[in-house]
Amino acid sequence: MDENALQLLAELANKLGVATEYLWVALLKQANIYAVVGVISLVAWAILIAAIAQWVRRATLQAKFDELDRTILLFCVACLALAYMLFAPMIIYDVVSAISNPEYWALMQIISK
């Protein structure tokens, strides 16, 4: 670890009233928790968007909506899918980092704060 990160870790440990080693171990454990929650949330959002898209497809095929309503619904689903495609890579990067190298993830958490 570089000196800046060690100093930040020591300051954070002092503020929390715990030992630096304890805080480091807690951050490493948090990396695993973050990764699991990240994967679960990505999968849940993908399933939700797919379910909404399926519902819109079924509803539009059954002609429950007029042309304007179909367009609005399809636009909303497209916006959800686009937002997912834009934000998912950012979350995936953090999740992969937390899984493959929890020390790096913990360092980035310390330095970014």
**Distance, CA of 6 to CA of 23 (rounded, Å):** 12
Domain boundaries, the chain: 3-112
Prediction pTM value: 0.70
Q: Buried (b) or exposed (e) across 46-78, using 16+ Cβ within 10 A?
A: eeebeeebeebeeebeeeeeeeeebeebeeebe
Please check whether residue 79 is in contact with residue 49, taking contact to mean a CB–CB distance below 8 angstroms.
no
**CB-facing half-sphere around the CA of 40: CA atoms within 13 A:** 6
Q: Could you list the pLDDT tens digit for every one of the 113 residues in the chain?
A: 567 767 777 777 777 777 777 778 888 888 999 999 999 999 998 998 889 888 877 877 776 677 777 788 888 888 988 998 898 888 898 899 889 988 888 888 877 76
